[in-house]
Structures are given as structure tokens and as C-alpha cells.
Amino acid sequence: MSPIVKLLAQRIALSLLLLLLISIVIFAGTIVLPGDVAQSILGQSATPEALANLRAELGVNDPPVQRYFAWLFGAMQGDLGTALTSGQDIAQALSSRFWNTLFLAFWAAVVAVPLAIFLGLLAVRFKDRWPDKMISAVTLASISIPEFLIGYVLMYFIAVQLRWFPSVAMVNDSMSLFEKLNAIALPIAVLTLVVLAHMMRMTRAAILNVMQSAYIETAELKGLNAFQVIYRHAFPNAIAPIVNVVMLNLAYLVVGVVVIEVVFVYPGMGQYLVDHVSKRDVPVVQACGLIFAAVYIGLNMIADIVAILSNPRLRHPK
């Protein structure tokens, strides 16, 4: 077996093992949550009879280990169970939410990733001069402000004062792609500001690191101009760390947008998860946790695979 295939197989197996371990953690974690699902569903208006009736109906009295395996086998077959609160099929209810979250993450990535890499390259080209310093200052400032505050500020100026884009990012199936993009313009802007600095600085650092290599000096001595040196010689060798940080930020765009979804009333996974956590709807919390974990592990795995494939030493074994 060639070392590349072996490494890849190992990496994928590791991911699956990790996912299995996480499923145990998720399941155990949701069991020890304080409070009681029946009480949470009925809230302040719970009568003892109603509580007892609901508990019996929800079947929350089986032993945990039995419930874990039933849940795991179901999840492997795509059956995530039914929500305790509404009785809906979770996989079905989640699918439109998940697509909405991916939709937002996709368009945020389409804006943020090229922009970050471009700004990173620009910063390297003008290293320690004003464009570099300005890019760093602006992106660092935007990553330091809490995202809800950026959201509110953009909402106030762009939606309330200027009325360019709506403040409520409500999307539904009857909208055209253009209408949807118009609706999510503000969340995209906030997400871009939040993830930009991380990716930009990683790009800058990785390329600067490569720039100190001997072959870059050679390229410079050959008389190539600065952009060509960066673009043709430095960038390809910096791909692995850049892809790594891009994947990390993509994962954040999918699993970390809870606050943004709440502020902009976007019907994605985050809002769905928050509502069900507060109602102690354990199966939904478990399903969301599992999906989020899978996205995180999956994207990290892709980053590692890209790193492996872009490493020429592995492609030419001695």
C-alpha cells in the first residue's frame, strides 16, 4: 500500500472513531442536564397530572445504556427519532434547517474565503507598510467585537437608517435566489467580519514563513516580481496551513452561528437547537450535537487530507 493511501485510510478511520466517542459524550451530557423535559414543556402552567401524563407519554424511564444503543443504531440509519415536544420526525424537521444553515455558511464562505486570502496576499506584498497595518487593524478590530454587537450596529445603519437590506433575514421556499441573498446580506456581512481576521492572518503568516526559504530567494534572484513570487512559489507551499484555517472557519460558519441566527431571526440549525435545549428536548439536542460534530470532524478531516495530498514528499516515497 502506498504511504498516501495508508495515511488517508488512517485519517478517515480516526475520524469515525472520534465521531463514535463524541456520540457517547453527547448522549451522556444530555442525560445529566438539570431539569426535566415534562416540566420544561409545560412551564409555569404545569399541573401534577399534566406532568405525570406527559412523562409517561415521553417514555423517559428506560435505562440509559439501552437508550444509547437504540439511538445510535437509529442515527446510523438516518433515523434521529422524534422530537419530544412536538412529536415531529427530527430528521425531517432538521433537513430544511440544515440546508438553511449551509446556505448561509456557503454564501458567507464565498465572500469571506477569497477576500481573506486576497487580503492576506496583499498584506504580505506590502509587509509592514500601511496597507498591511490597515488590513491587520481592521480585521483584528472586527474579530474583537462580539458578533451580536456587530450585528446590531450593521442592523441600525444599514437596515434602519439606510434601508438597503432587511434586518430580518427570513428566507422561505417561495423566494428566488436573489431575494434570499438580499435577505441574508447582513448576516453574511457579520459572519465575514467575524471570520476574516483569522483566515487573513494565517494566510499572511504561512506565506511569510515560506518566504524565508532558500528557493524564494532564488526566485527573487531570478528577477521575478513580488506578486509572481508570492503567487507562484510561496502560495502553493502554504496551502496546507491555509486550508486548515479555512476549514476551521467553515466549521465555525456552520456550527457557530447561533447568535447570528437569533439576532437576524434566521431559521437555521442554531435557533432550532437553542429552542430545544431550553425545553430539554433531548433527542433533538442529541441529533443537532451529532450533526455539528460530524460537520466539524468532516471539515477537519478534509483539511488534513488536503495537507497530506499537497505534501510532495509523500507523493514521491524514497
Partner 1 sequence: MNRHMQYLASQAAAGKLSRRDFLGKAAALGFTAVSANLLLSTAAKAAGPQKGGTIRLGLQGGSTTDSLDPALVTNTVGLMVTRLWGETLVELADDGGIEGKLAESYEASADAKTWTFKLRSGVTYSNGQSVTADDVVKTMERHSGEDTKSGALGIMRGIKDVRADGDSVVFELDSPNADLPYLLADYHLIIQPNGGNDDPAAAIGTGPYIMKSADMGVRFVAEKNPNYWGDLGNADTVEIIVINDDTARVAALQSGQVDVIDRVPPRTAKLVDRAPNITVHSTSAAGHYVFIMHCNTAPFDNNDVRMALKYGINRQEMVDKILNGYGTVGNDTPINASYPMYTELEQRQFDPDKAMHHLKKAGHDGSILLRTSDNSFPGAPDASALFQQSLSSAGIQLDVKREPNDGYWSEVWNAKPFCTSYWGGRPTQDQMFTTAYLSTADWNDTRFNNEQFDQMLVAARGELDVAKRTQMYADMSTILRDEGGLICPMFNDFVEATTDNVDGFVEGIPGQVLMNGYAASKLWVKA
Smallest gap from residue 82 Cβ to partner 1 (A): 12
When asked if residue 79 is in the footprint of partner 1 (CB under 8 A), the reply is no
Looking at beta carbons only, is 166 or 256 nearer to partner 1? 166
- Judged by CB under 8 A, the stretch of 109-117, 249-257, 270-278, 293-301 that binds partner 1 is 270-278
Contacts of 295 (CB under 8 A, 6+ apart): 251, 254, 255
Which amino acid belongs to residue 269?
M
When asked if residue 267 is in the footprint of partner 1 (CB under 8 A), the reply is yes
Contacts of 85 (CB under 8 A, 6+ apart): 37, 41, 276, 279, 281, 284
- Judged by CB under 8 A, the stretch of 17-25, 139-147, 150-158, 223-231 that binds partner 1 is 150-158
Looking at beta carbons only, is 183 or 299 nearer to partner 1? 183
Kindly report the backbone phi and psi dihedral angles of residue 256, in degrees, each rounded to the nearest multiple of 5, phi listed first. Answer: -110, 15
**In the block, residue with C-alpha cell 415521553:** 58
Smallest gap from residue 136 Cβ to partner 1 (A): 30
Helix or strand or coil: residue 89?
strand
Looking at beta carbons only, is 235 or 266 nearer to partner 1? 266
When asked if residue 34 is in the footprint of partner 1 (CB under 8 A), the reply is yes
Whether the Cβ atoms of residue 263 and residue 168 lie closer than 8 Å to each other: no
The CA distance from 187 to 168, in Å, is 9
Looking at beta carbons only, is 235 or 264 nearer to partner 1? 264
**In the block, residue with C-alpha cell 474579530:** 143
When asked if residue 101 is in the footprint of partner 1 (CB under 8 A), the reply is no
When asked if residue 41 is in the footprint of partner 1 (CB under 8 A), the reply is yes
When asked if residue 160 is in the footprint of partner 1 (CB under 8 A), the reply is yes
b vs e for 130-166, b when ≥16 Cβ sit within 10 Å of the residue's Cβ?
eebeebbeebeebbeeebeebbeebbeebbeeeeebb
Looking at beta carbons only, is 77 or 176 nearer to partner 1? 176
Burial of residue 125 (CB within 10 Å: 0-12, 13-18, 19+) is middle
When asked if residue 272 is in the footprint of partner 1 (CB under 8 A), the reply is yes
When asked if residue 29 is in the footprint of partner 1 (CB under 8 A), the reply is no
267: alpha, beta or left? (left if phi > 0; alpha if psi -120 to 50): beta
- Judged by CB under 8 A, the stretch of 34-42, 129-137, 217-225, 296-304 that binds partner 1 is 34-42
- Considering only residues 192 through 231, tell me which ones interact with partner 1, judged by CB under 8 A: none
- Considering only residues 246 through 265, tell me which ones interact with partner 1, judged by CB under 8 A: 262-265
Helix or strand or coil: residue 82?
strand
- Judged by CB under 8 A, the stretch of 28-36, 101-109, 139-147, 226-234 that binds partner 1 is 28-36
- Considering only residues 48 through 77, tell me which ones interact with partner 1, judged by CB under 8 A: 48-50, 53-54
- The rounded Cα 94 to chain-centroid distance in angstroms is 16
Smallest gap from residue 126 Cβ to partner 1 (A): 38
Whether the Cβ atoms of residue 170 and residue 267 lie closer than 8 Å to each other: yes
Counting residues that bind partner 1 (by CB under 8 A) gives 43
Kindly report the backbone phi and psi dihedral angles of residue 63, in degrees, each rounded to the nearest multiple of 5, phi listed first. Answer: -65, 145
Whether the Cβ atoms of residue 195 and residue 115 lie closer than 8 Å to each other: no
Sites of contact with partner 1 (CB under 8 A): 34-36, 39-45, 47-50, 53-54, 83, 85-87, 152, 155-156, 159-160, 163, 166-168, 170, 172, 262-265, 267, 271-272, 275-276, 278-279, 281
